């Protein structure tokens, strides 16, 4: 391997580690000590200290730089996808954080993301009850293990496995795909209905209803895709770049292969969405205003525009 190739790989690894440590690990040192893991606190709530906020801003800036290194390609066919190609669900036999610790991955993530934990019959792995401060919906959810109650809190793959399959994971070996499916960087304990609504969407077609978490959400997707050599579509790239730009207030880093977007400034300066005070009458009106797709929480969104109820209206 050439020195140039080694240098590029090292730079990417440094960027990934920086994003992971600062924005995904965003918790106090005391919390990290309690869990004993580098990924502790990924879903642990909003930090308030000035140093934490500064770190988050720096990490989001790093994610923007890292995004520019991810290839932009079309989505490959879903043909051949099967969940089993990513290994046994929640297996402990993985080479990522929490692997080979004697507990299945689902319980590892519940233990990481929930508070006020109790365990089943004194079992050190099986979480019986707990409280989730859900980042996707900004709500508090009481978790109780049971046939009719466990689904209230589900484990989301931030980069959905089907999406990963169509953007490079087909080319990975089985163990690497299994690592991806169980990597704590790619997992969140979240509101069950929100997880079902997301399904296998990427950032261009679904974002958390809680707008305050979107920066961290897309930064996590960037980290995971970079770590596993996956690509993004153009629409996905543009959505993520726009969100990261809003987070940092700086222009997104353009991929080296992208031509200058000479028409972008005239388009964005009109800012039609700023004047919207009521839901659009129909999708034609949203598109005419340059606001489509319209997401939950955005000006102009209305349930009557969102025929499939996925939180993203007028996406076609």
Q: Residue 67: is it exposed, middle or buried by C-beta count within 10 angstroms (0-12/13-18/19+)?
A: buried
* Closest C-alpha among 116, 68, 315, 107 to residue 207: 315
Q: How far apart are CA 155 and CA 188, in angstroms?
A: 5
pLDDT of amino acid 3:
36
> Looking at 210, 234, 258, which one is the last position of a domain?
258
pLDDT of amino acid 314:
79
CB 206 within 8 A of CB 311: yes
- Reported as a single tens digit per residue, the pLDDT across 120-171 is 987 899 999 999 999 999 999 999 999 999 999 999 999 999 999 999 999 9
pLDDT of amino acid 61:
83
What is the SS3 string spanning 133-178? Answer: EECCCCEEEEEECCCCCHHHEEEEECCCHHHHHCCCHHHCCHHHHH
Q: Which residues pair with 143 in a beta bridge?
A: 130
- Reported as a single tens digit per residue, the pLDDT across 75-102 is 999 999 999 999 999 999 999 999 999 9
**Count of C-beta atoms within a 10 Å radius of residue 5:** 9
77 secondary structure, DSSP code: P
User: Terminal CA-to-CA distance of the chain, rounded, Å?
Assistant: 44
- Residue 171 and residue 94 share a domain: yes
Mean per-residue pLDDT over the chain, rounded: 79
- Residue 171 and residue 142 share a domain: yes
- Residue 121 and residue 14 share a domain: yes
pLDDT of amino acid 126:
97
CB 34 within 8 A of CB 17: no
Q: How many domains does the chain have?
A: 2
**Count of C-beta atoms within a 10 Å radius of residue 310:** 17
Q: How far apart are CA 107 and CA 105, in angstroms?
A: 5
Name the pLDDT band for 255 (thresholds 50, 70, 90).
low
pLDDT of amino acid 129:
97
- Residue 269 and residue 233 share a domain: no
- Residue 119 and residue 103 share a domain: yes
Range of the domain at 274: 261-316
- Residue 299 and residue 153 share a domain: no
Q: How far apart are CA 134 and CA 44, in angstroms?
A: 9
CB 130 within 8 A of CB 117: yes
- Residue 286 and residue 192 share a domain: no
- Residue 299 and residue 221 share a domain: no
Q: Identify the residue with better confidence: 44 or 114.
A: 114
- Residue 306 and residue 190 share a domain: no
> Looking at 237, 258, 279, which one is the last position of a domain?
258
Highest mean pLDDT among 5-9, 213-217, 270-274: 213-217
**10, 109, 156, 175 alpha-carbon torsion, rounded to 10°:** 50
Half-sphere exposure of 123 (CA within 13 A, CB side): 14
Q: How far apart are CA 70 and CA 11, in angstroms?
A: 13
- Residue 270 and residue 139 share a domain: no
3-state secondary structure of 151: helix
What integer is the mean pLDDT of 106-125? 95
pLDDT of amino acid 299:
76
- Reported as a single tens digit per residue, the pLDDT across 10-21 is 445 545 554 554
- Residue 191 and residue 72 share a domain: yes
- Residue 133 and residue 274 share a domain: no
CB-based contacts of 45, cutoff 8 Å, min separation 6? 133, 135
Q: How far apart are CA 175 and CA 153, in angstroms?
A: 27
Q: Residue 7: is it exposed, middle or buried by C-beta count within 10 angstroms (0-12/13-18/19+)?
A: exposed
CB 153 within 8 A of CB 144: no
20 secondary structure, DSSP code: I
pLDDT of amino acid 293:
77
> Looking at 210, 229, 258, which one is the last position of a domain?
258
Which ranges in 249-304 belong to alpha helices (H)?
A: 264-269, 283-288
- Name the pTM for this structure: 0.67
Q: How far apart are CA 277 and CA 224, in angstroms?
A: 37
């Amino acid at each position: 391997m050439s020195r140039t190739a080694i240098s590029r790989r090292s730079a990417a690894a440094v960027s990934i580690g920086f994003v992971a440590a600062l924005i995904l690990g965003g918790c106090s040192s005391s919390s990290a000590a309690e869990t004993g893991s580098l990924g502790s606190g990924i879903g642990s709530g909003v930090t308030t200290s000035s140093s934490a906020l500064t770190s988050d801003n720096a990490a989001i800036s790093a994610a923007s730089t890292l995004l520019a290194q991810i290839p932009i390609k079309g989505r490959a066919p879903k043909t051949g996808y099967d969940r089993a190609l990513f290994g046994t669900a929640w297996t402990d036999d993985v080479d990522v954080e929490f692997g080979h610790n004697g507990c299945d991955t689902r319980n590892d993530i519940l233990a990481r993301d929930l508070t006020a934990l109790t365990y089943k019959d004194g079992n050190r792995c099986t979480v019986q009850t707990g409280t989730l401060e859900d980042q996707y919906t900004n709500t508090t959810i009481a978790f109780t293990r049971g046939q009719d109650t466990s689904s209230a809190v589900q484990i989301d793959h931030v980069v959905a496995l089907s999406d990963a399959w169509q953007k490079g994971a087909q080319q990975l070996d089985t163990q690497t795909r299994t690592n991806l499916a169980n990597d704590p960087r790619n997992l969140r304990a979240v509101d069950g209905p929100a997880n079902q609504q997301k399904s296998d969407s990427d950032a261009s077609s679904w974002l958390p209803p809680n707008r305050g978490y979107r920066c961290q959400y897309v930064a996590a997707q960037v980290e995971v895709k970079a770590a596993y050599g996956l690509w993004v579509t153009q629409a996905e790239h543009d959505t993520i770049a726009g969100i990261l730009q809003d987070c940092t207030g700086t222009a997104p880093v353009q991929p080296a292969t992208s031509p200058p977007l000479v028409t972008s400034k005239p388009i964005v300066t009109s800012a039609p969405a700023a004047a919207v005070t009521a839901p659009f009458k129909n999708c034609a009106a949203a598109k005419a205003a340059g606001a489509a797709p319209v997401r939950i929480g955005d000006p102009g969104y209305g349930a009557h525009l969102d025929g499939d109820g996925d939180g993203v209206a007028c996406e076609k």
